[in-house]
Amino acid sequence: MHDEGSRPATAPACPGPAPHPHGPTRYRVPAGAVDTHAHVIGLPPAYPFVAGRSYTPPEATAQSYLAMLDATGMTYGVLVQVSVHGTDNRAMLEPLAAHRERLRGIAVIPLGLPDRELAALKDAGIVGLRLNILYGGGIGFEQLDAYAALAREMGWHLQFLIDAADLVPLAPRLSTLPVPFVVDHWGHFPVSRGLDDPGFRTLCALLRDGGWVKLSGAYRNTVAGPPYADTIPFARLLHEAAPDRCVWGSDWPHVAHWQPMMNVGDLLDLLADWVPDAAARDAVLAGNAQRLYGFPPAAV
């Protein structure tokens, strides 16, 4: 459940994902489906953790992630640079290079990298940059315009890990960005704030104006807990605002989550309630995400 006010001051260890992932039971995952949000995590000392993190994750290997994709019927995956590794993208770049046809990546980088390093990131499969003001170890919005300019130059998009409340003052700037932007976990929005919350209404307006959103992180936004039924009206409004710019993500391995661990199949089943129409749901799982991340349609 989402409760930033009770976040511990230290960096406690969090559990790993469910060991036996399975696909949904309520529908068939379409060919070419994309999991648009997951993390691979290495362990120190080979892959150091940042000092200012708010949690300490277990190792999450590329092999385990690919096995999860296979078990759940997902064709493609998008790896997002995890906050605990800061701007050291190596743990993510290595599997990208090894699985170029199946994986894409979202990097966290400082400004001012040499052109050769930027070209190497693009060649490895990086398609976007992440700005993150939650959980520590990320890059904030102070240099939003500079990152947007860099993303435009590289043919990338921007991805935001942000509380929906912080979208309200940022909305005028976001609406004029020269590149697409995606909001993670629909703004880390605890549903106790209600459908009329200014942050949620701002997110919906940004989507109608051209923004993208990840229909993900139900367990972060819920108040009632599993099976997350209290998230349904919110997700439906987001999909209604931008049916061709909604994508789905597992958020595997579910870091910074200390409640009972869900199975990815349960989260996929929830999508049947969020987007009841089968064709629209297939677009969320496959067509929309293929377009944003540059994946080819899969053969049926």
Average pLDDT per run of 10 along the chain, which is 300 residues long? 41 94 98 98 96 91 98 98 95 97 97 97 97 74 95 98 94 96 94 97 98 97 96 98 98 93 97 98 98 85
Going by C-alpha positions, the residue among 56, 12, 15, 64 that lies closest to residue 38 is 64
Q: Is the dihedral of CA 102, 127, 41, 218 positive or negative?
A: negative
**Superfamily of domain 4-14+28-293, CATH level 4:** Metal-dependent hydrolases (3.20.20.140)
- pLDDT for 137 equals 58
Tell me the angle at which helices 144-154 and 167-174 cross, rounded to the nearest 10 degrees.
Answer: 40
Catalytic residue flag (residue 88):
no
State how far the Cα of 237 lies from the Cα of 233, in Å rounded to an integer: 6
All structural domains of the chain with their residue ranges: 4-14+28-293
Question: b/e for 144-183, b at 16 or more Cβ within 10 A?
Answer: beebbebbeebebbbbbbbbbbbbeeebeebeebebbbbb
Pairing of β 181-183 and β 34-38: unpaired
Cβ-based burial of 61 (10 A; exposed 0-12, middle 13-18, buried ≥19): middle
Give the contacts of 101 (CB within 8 A, at least 6 positions apart): none
Phi-psi region of 240 (alpha: psi -120 to 50; beta: other; left: phi over 0): alpha
**Catalytic residue (choose from 166, 197, 251, 282):** 251
- pLDDT for 3 equals 36
User: What phi and psi values does residue 104 have, to the nearest 5 degrees?
Assistant: -125, 170
What secondary structure does DSSP assign to 184-248, as a single string?
THHHH--GGG-TT-HHHHHHHHHHHTT-EEEE--HHHH-SS-TT-GGGHHHHHHHHHH-TTSEEE
- Residue for token digits 């894409």? 104
Within 13 Å of residue 111, how many CA atoms lie on the same side as its CB? 14
Using DSSP's 3-state secondary structure scheme, residue 251 falls into coil
Q: How many residues appear in the chain? A: 300
